[in-house]
Structure 1
Amino acid sequence: MLLLGCDFSSAPSARKPIVVALGSASDGSVRLSAFQLFATLDDWGQWLRATPAWVGAFDLPFGLPRELVVQLGWPLEWERLIAHYAGLDRDEIRRSFAAFCVARPAGGKFAHRQTDGPAGSSPSMKWVNPPVAFMLHAGLPRLLAAGAVVPGLHPPHRTANAPRIALEAYPGLLARELIGRRSYKSDAVAGQSAERRQARVDLVAELERGAGRLGLRLSLEDRARALLLDDAKGDHLDAALCLVQAAWAQARSGSAGPGYGLPPVIDPIEGWIATA
């Protein structure tokens, strides 16, 4: 089975493309075979649709906090909710979310999903730093248009034998397990320091060693290892982290409940981050 790990951008470009790591897993090892880069959202979506079978872990949220959705009066069924959300433009999303935040106390402006606590992830309604709300808006409808099925959010009968399986991932969750809270990347040139490069060196070494809770070794050729270390923005490394998360989940695809290592019960509009 082809495995994908995707570092996503809601506004990709030639300078900051969407990065997809391709690989496969066997005997406790995840082999990273290649990278695909996409400078536009449509090219990414078309490639996913043209690739016939895969299990992918994608660094973008697949759901919104239930508290937010109820407050806004949006649909409480996931597919209808996502269709409604996709029909809004970014200004409408920003205004709706900002109005929700205004009435809330300092320190608790954003609503969180149940998965945010164990994953340590940003709330999926954030529209700045990082703009994960816009990542959901740009990415998830294209995943669904490519025929992806989402365990835990689509009904179980849709997941069985589906050729394309999409899982929400968060590379920072695995990175923290391996090197703590050390920063290993920066989009700003001024922040691309020797200390962050050393953090990438250490993180890659831990991945290749198979350290951490997931117990999977990342198998790399020299060229791929160099890409992971030399990309100071961390996009290739984040895609590789997602690839390892995809492999861990795929190995648990036949377990009880929604499978793929997900909890037996998931809020059906919020979703869950793989491996959390």
Structure 2
Amino acid sequence: MNTAGPELWGCDFSSAPSQRKPVLLACGRLRAGRVLLERLESFETLAGFGDRLAEPGHWVGGFDLPFGLPRELVETLGWPTDWLACMRHYAALSRPEIRERFAAFCAARPVGGKFAHRATDRPAGSSPSMKWVNPPVAYMLHAGIPLLLEAGVSLPGLCAGDAGRVALEAYPGLLARSVLGSRSYKSDDKAKQTPERLIARKDLLHTLEMGSAPLLQGSGLRLKLSHAQHDELVADASGDRLDAVLCLLQAAWALTQHQGGHACYGLPDFDPLEGWIVTA
């Protein structure tokens, strides 16, 4: 038995990974309040990432993809309101079918209220999980949840699985905004990869290393990086590596909550159809 506690994972997910934009997995450990980044793994295919998830292990992970759909949307479409049945129904649809159904739902609603939201979206500041463009989080759910289910991991409050491999919905923007406010720290557009965003990444990492991020206040958690890791995270103007590390920190917070006696890893009582973003 591993007495050192579970490994920590933070995942920056892509619904269509490639060599240019792979799925990134930040792996680390919690040691006396310090979150040690041990390595970054990358996956250029969903199948490869699915194989990694299915490996035997002992970890708590934060995954940057939605774990559910808005109840209002599900009920309006007449889909199953049991989470597992709903996710299986959703996974069986093609992306064009998803886009068609969601677009029809939005078309019937007033300007300014086109999308349905989950209860967690507003406190987290996250995009609605039914959004299929900019960012296509609906496709991230469609690609990611089947991998987690097939791997047999546990999704607290949603679906029982292997208690040694625990997956939680994370959102790096929530932690980043608690430090930077409205300052942007990343862009996939090379023309927008500015010195201001570079400085923002440096400021964000400094705050995380000092343990003074407002969202993590009271937890005592501090990020521990080598100089090479720090430079790698700062140099990635897309922010993907940094996002994986932000998810790693959210997983670390959840682990401390669980170690403190919270059975559901710090998640509040939430709608078991919609899911909830850890630390929101």
Q: TM-score, normalised by structure 2?
A: 0.94
In structure 2, the residue matched to 1:141 is 146
In structure 1, the residue matched to 2:9 is 4
Letter of the 2:118 counterpart: R
Letter of the 2:39 counterpart: A
What per-residue deviation string (whole Å, max 9, x for no partner) do you get for residues 133-175 of structure 1? 0000001110111111111112xxx36x701100000000000
Q: Against the structure 1 CA distance between its residues 172 and 205, is the aligned structure 2 distance closer, same or farther, given a 3 Å change threshold?
A: same
Is 1:174 aligned with 2:190? no
In structure 1, the residue matched to 2:271 is 267
In structure 2, the residue matched to 1:72 is 77
Is 1:123 aligned with 2:115? no
More divergent stretch after superposition (42-51 vs 54-63): 42-51
Aligned length: 271
For residues 240 and 93 of structure 1, the distance between their equivalents in structure 2, rounded to whole angstroms, comes to: 31
CA shift for structure 1 position 182: 0.6
CA shift for structure 1 position 26: 2.2
Letter of the 1:170 counterpart: Y
For residues 209 and 100 of structure 2, the distance between their equivalents in structure 1, rounded to whole angstroms, comes to: 44
Is 1:34 aligned with 2:39? yes
For residues 229 and 270 of structure 2, the distance between their equivalents in structure 1, rounded to whole angstroms, comes to: 36
Letter of the 1:191 counterpart: K
In structure 1, the residue matched to 2:225 is 220
1:25 to 30, 33, 36: 30
Is 1:107 aligned with 2:108? no
CA shift for structure 1 position 19: 0.7
Superposed CA RMSD: 1.3
For residues 235 and 109 of structure 2, the distance between their equivalents in structure 1, rounded to whole angstroms, comes to: 42
Q: Against the structure 1 CA distance between its residues 84 and 256, is the aligned structure 2 distance closer, same or farther, given a 3 Å change threshold?
A: farther
Q: Secondary structure at the match of 1:251?
A: helix
Percent identity between the two aligned chains: 60
For residues 259 and 75 of structure 1, the distance between their equivalents in structure 2, rounded to whole angstroms, comes to: 24
CA shift for structure 1 position 255: 6.0
Conserved 8 A contact 1:60-1:135: yes
CA shift for structure 1 position 256: 6.6
Conserved 8 A contact 1:58-1:168: yes
Q: Runs of at least 4 residues of structure 1 off by over 4 A? A: 254-258
Where does structure 2 lack aligned partners over 5 or more consecutive residues? 1-5
CA shift for structure 1 position 257: 6.8
What per-residue deviation string (whole Å, max 9, x for no partner) do you get for residues 31-76 of structure 1? 0010000011110110111142211000000000000000000001
For residues 259 and 137 of structure 1, the distance between their equivalents in structure 2, rounded to whole angstroms, comes to: 24
What per-residue deviation string (whole Å, max 9, x for no partner) do you get for residues 168-218 of structure 1? 000000001111111000001111111110100100101101112314100
For residues 85 and 259 of structure 1, the distance between their equivalents in structure 2, rounded to whole angstroms, comes to: 25
Q: Against the structure 1 CA distance between its residues 93 and 255, is the aligned structure 2 distance closer, same or farther, given a 3 Å change threshold?
A: farther
Q: Secondary structure at the match of 2:93?
A: coil
